[in-house]
Structure 1
Amino acid sequence: MQSGFTIDGLANARDLGGLDRADGSTTPTGVFIRAETLDRMTPSGWERLSAYGVRTVIDLRRPQERTGEIPDGLRRVNVDLDGDDHTFWAPLEADGRWGTPLYYLSHLDELPHRLAEVLQAIASADEGAVLFHCGAGWDRTGLVAAVLLRALDVTEDAAVADYLASFSNAEAMATLHKRSFHAEERREILARFGHTAETAFRTAYQNLDLDEWFGRTDIDPATRLAVTTWRGYATASALR
């Protein structure tokens, strides 16, 4: 069961610990936290994150999206997971796939350097928990979460449940951040491509071959080890 995680100022945050792995174990808690924008964080929320052990915040947003400050004592690393490759993004933005798991595998295939930079930031993060986020904590954050879960061979059902939690959190997110996160629009787009939210993510996760991806990138061994052992807090799995 995934660890509960309540932070004042966040509505789509969760610890990636407690998820079932194929070998019967579960992912360790207090290593990776996923979240949405931190703009609504309160002092008590920051205190909670600090007490939880978070020492590094990785912002996955584009430069023009970055907002807000973080307290002293936390290290912020900005990594643009999207990039500005118009040829890649234009068709995805035109038909709506950019806001769904339907772009994940293409992104890994065509823009591998983007994920590589994120993984290097994770590997070189200060000792302590790493929080990574984008705007909604849904798409870019979801892609990085999928990679980290695949790295420990988290079961499909557990990985899907983690992804779907963002849909469950959409109303609370809208209330907190005072804007819509378009859950129904996402479902409608997926339906046009013959998917539900569950099948879209499950298909991407099933076909996310990290062993193959690592084999064709120039990721250094230390970074690969940090990812496949969750920074040394877990035993490595045979990647699929």
Structure 2
Amino acid sequence: MQTPFEIDGLANARDLGGLERSHGPSTPAGVLIRAEVLDRITEAGWNRLRAYGVRTVIDLRRPSERTDSVPSDIASRHIDLDGDERHFWQSREQDGQWGTPLYYVDHVTELPHRLAGALDEIARARTGGILFHCGAGWDRTGLLAAVLLKAVGVTEDAATQDYLSSFANAEGMTRLHGRSFDVDERLTVLGRLGHTPESAFRAVYRRLDIDAWLAAHLDADTASAIRTWRGSVS
């Protein structure tokens, strides 16, 4: 069962601990946390994150989106996971795939340096928990979460339920952040492409060949850190 996680000022945050793996115990809590934009976290929320052990924040947004909301005692790193490669994004922005998991496999295949940069930051982060986020905590965060879960053998069912939590949290996100997170548009795009949110994520998760990707694009130490969640998974 996924580890409960509530922070004042976040509506789409969750600890990736407590998820079933194909072999061995469930994923450990307090290692990797996913979330949306951090701008509304209250002082109490940041204190809760500190008490929970979070020592590093990794912002996956584009440079134009970034805001300065991380307290100085928590390490802050920025990685543009999307990138600005127009040859990759133009068609996906036009057909709406950018807001679905359907671009994940193509992204890690065609733009491997983007994912490699994020994984390198995770591997090199200071001791303690890592919170990674984008704007909605849904697409870029979802891509990185899927890779991290697949790397330690989280089952397809457990990974899918984690992804679907963003749909369940959308109404709360709208109330908290005062804007739409385009649920209807996401569903429309997926339906046009013959998918539901669940079927789309499952199809992508099955196709992610993370062991081969890690071997091809990361040095041995970084790959080992990702495969073991920084030594917390045997």
Q: Deviations over 1:173-210 (max 9, x none)?
A: 00000000011210110000000000100011001001
Deviation for aligned residue 1:77: 0.3
The Cα RMSD (Å) is 0.7
Equivalent residue number for residue 31 of structure 1: 31
Deviation for aligned residue 1:13: 0.2
State how far apart, in whole Å, the 2-side matches of 1:214 and 1:47 are: 35
Equivalent residue number for residue 231 of structure 1: 230
Q: Confirm whether residue 82 of structure 1 aligns to residue 82 of structure 2.
A: yes
Unaligned 5+ segments in structure 1 are 236-240
CA contact (8 A) 2:215 2:223 kept: no
Q: Deviations over 1:157-186 (max 9, x none)?
A: 000000000000000000000000011210
Deviation for aligned residue 1:126: 0.6
Equivalent residue number for residue 175 of structure 2: 175
CA contact (8 A) 1:101 1:139 kept: yes
Q: Confirm whether residue 62 of structure 1 aligns to residue 59 of structure 2.
A: no
SS in structure 1 at match of 2:34: strand
CA contact (8 A) 1:38 1:68 kept: no
CA contact (8 A) 2:132 2:141 kept: yes
Amino acid of the structure 2 residue aligned with 1:198: E
Deviation for aligned residue 1:15: 0.2
SS in structure 2 at match of 1:169: helix
How many equivalent pairs are there? 234
Equivalent residue number for residue 154 of structure 1: 154
Deviation for aligned residue 1:69: 2.0
State how far apart, in whole Å, the 1-side matches of 2:169 and 2:68 are: 22
State how far apart, in whole Å, the 2-side matches of 1:161 and 1:190 are: 17
Q: Confirm whether residue 220 of structure 1 aligns to residue 200 of structure 2.
A: no
Runs of 4+ deviating beyond 4 Å: none
Equivalent residue number for residue 187 of structure 1: 187
State how far apart, in whole Å, the 2-side matches of 1:6 and 1:201 are: 25
Equivalent residue number for residue 211 of structure 1: 211
Change (3 A) 1:24 1:225: closer
Identity of aligned residues (%): 61
State how far apart, in whole Å, the 2-side matches of 1:95 and 1:57 are: 32
SS in structure 2 at match of 1:216: helix
Equivalent residue number for residue 238 of structure 1: none
CA contact (8 A) 1:28 1:233 kept: yes
CA contact (8 A) 1:17 1:26 kept: yes
State how far apart, in whole Å, the 2-side matches of 1:129 and 1:215 are: 25
SS in structure 1 at match of 2:130: strand
Using the TM superposition, name which of 208-217 and 78-87 deviates more. Answer: 208-217
Amino acid of the structure 1 residue aligned with 2:123: A
CA contact (8 A) 2:55 2:126 kept: yes
